[in-house]
Amino acid sequence: MIPLFIALILPAAAQFRRDDPYPRIHDPSTVVEDHGSVWCLSTGGGIDLLKREADGRWRRAARVFEKFPEWHQKEVPANRGHLWAPDIIRSGDRWWVYYSVSSFGSNESAIGLVSGKTLDPASKDYGWKDEGLVIRSRKNDRFNAIDPALMEDGGRLWMSFGSFWDGIMLVELDPTTGLMKEPGSKPIHLARHAEIEAPFICKHDGWYYLFVNWGKCCRGTDSTYEIRVGRSKAVTGPYLDRDGTDLKDGGGTLVLESDGRFIGPGHPSIRVEDGREMLVHHYYDKDRRGRSDLRMLPLKWQDGWPAVGEGGD
């Protein structure tokens, strides 16, 4: 993804008002539950922590960072505190939050990790510990270390990530530390396209499904994001689309595209709620001057492939 304050039509001051309790939601993380409440995280100044209210709206509860780790500026000097595309996973008694440190149009990037006991800012146990850098990329790399997405599978922890360049990558993490299992190892290449980012991997009926975004984000109603998918019998690939084309060769079966007021659906994940699966994603609202927001649509499986239904939140 690219930062909203660079490319969206609306003025920057309107995009990220710190006193707005209902912020624009972009690059939503996996949606999770903690102590009876529903939470997610979003791109923003210091990463927005959002809590779902009874009426379904998402309210900003806190920011993960008020003070940034020193390594951010050392590793990515061009970053100015606007952190992108977080994801979250539970490990033991702690939450792990992964996030992107980068700048527009550059692969001088890094993925960082913080951990905390609770997501509730009102709890005495609330607070985040910097766990450091997970992986970084530099100009001579053919990948971009942003857009992390986590998956636990049989006690093993995997992180997919990537944006443009050679596309989507995968690394294995140490499930005890959350950091790279083999520091310095070469990422596994999963998918390539001219405009690709925001991966998410899930498992269903013995298959691994790799969801990705094609197109451009962050342009309000001019955004061209759409969600594509491929599947594999191994988490490491190869991932093929419905026609049998490898995602590394530009394959990808369409899952969701712009429709009516819902422009540029992107940054997918899956949530199970009330016994049904929902495809979580952001979109740009044509009826609200391109405001970015979160939507969840019913997800069904037809002949071994995901399909979205009507309705949802």
The pLDDT profile of the chain, 313 residues, written as one tens digit per residue, is 544 433 333 333 334 445 566 789 999 999 999 989 999 999 999 999 999 999 989 999 999 998 999 999 999 999 998 999 999 999 999 999 999 999 888 999 999 999 999 999 999 999 999 999 999 999 999 999 999 999 999 999 999 999 999 999 999 999 999 999 999 899 999 999 999 999 999 999 999 999 999 999 989 999 999 999 999 999 999 999 999 999 999 999 999 999 999 999 999 999 998 899 999 999 999 999 999 999 999 999 999 999 997 655 5
Q: Active-site residue numbers?
A: 27, 197
**Count: domains in the chain:** 1
CB 309 within 8 A of CB 21: no
Residue 251 maps to a domain? yes
Domain membership of residue 69 (yes or no) is yes
CA–CA dist 128, 98 (Å, integer): 12
Question: In angstroms, how far is the first alpha carbon of the chain from the final one?
Answer: 24
| Tokens at 305, concatenated | 């492939």
The 3-state DSSP class for residue 70 equals: helix
**What is the Cα–Cα distance from 211 to 187, expressed in whole angstroms?**
18
Residue 142 lies in a domain: yes
Cβ burial, residue 129 (10 Å; 0-12/13-18/19+): exposed
Structural domain contains residue 304 = yes
Evaluate whether residue 313 is within a structural domain: no
Instruction: Indicate whether 49 belongs to any domain.
Output: yes
C-alpha 151/C-alpha 132 separation (Å) is 20
Q: What is the pTM of this model?
A: 0.92
The residue type found at 182 is E
Domain that holds residue 121: 4-308
